[in-house]
Amino acid sequence: MTTKKSATTYGSSSGASARSQTASSGSSRRVDRVPCVIPPFCRTNYFTGRLLTEQDFTAEQRYFRDKIRLHYRALHGWGVACGLRVKPHPFCPDRRLVIEPGLAIDSCGYEIFVTREIEIELPPAPAKPARI
């Protein structure tokens, strides 16, 4: 007797609380989840003569990705590992910031890897109420 498992597909690491879940039948539906939940581990069992499919490789990648997330969350915590210094922009320090390259781990265990300097524009200052 063969049982079909449903596979969870993850989108980008944007931190959205809704992830899409695809059943083996191919139907797709939105499921609200806590974004930091690591699903139960399910490792692919290999044996000689097994026909490997895309689903097997995806499941293996998910297994190792979730294991490293658990490792980061449980043993190292979240925060900046190195770099990511924030400094004022050299030409317009009142309107922009510069973030230097570096590595951080967010509260869900995802890596945040910045490879080059990034300029961030600050929101405009709120207008001060006029005194009457």
Antiparallel, parallel or unpaired: β 7-8 and 111-114: unpaired
Confidence of residue 37 (pLDDT cuts 50, 70, 90): confident
What residue ranges do the domains of the chain occupy? 7-76, 79-121
Specify the pLDDT at position 34: 59
Q: What is the signed CA dihedral for 45, 46, 47, 53, rounded to 10 degrees?
A: 110
Confidence of residue 35 (pLDDT cuts 50, 70, 90): low
Three-state secondary structure call for residue 67: helix
DSSP count for the chain of H helices, then E strands: 1, 9
Specify the pLDDT at position 124: 85
* Residues 44-68 pLDDT 10s: 888 999 999 999 999 999 999 999 9
Specify the pLDDT at position 17: 33
Q: Provide mean pLDDT across the span 69-90.
A: 92
Specify the pLDDT at position 42: 83
Confidence of residue 21 (pLDDT cuts 50, 70, 90): very low
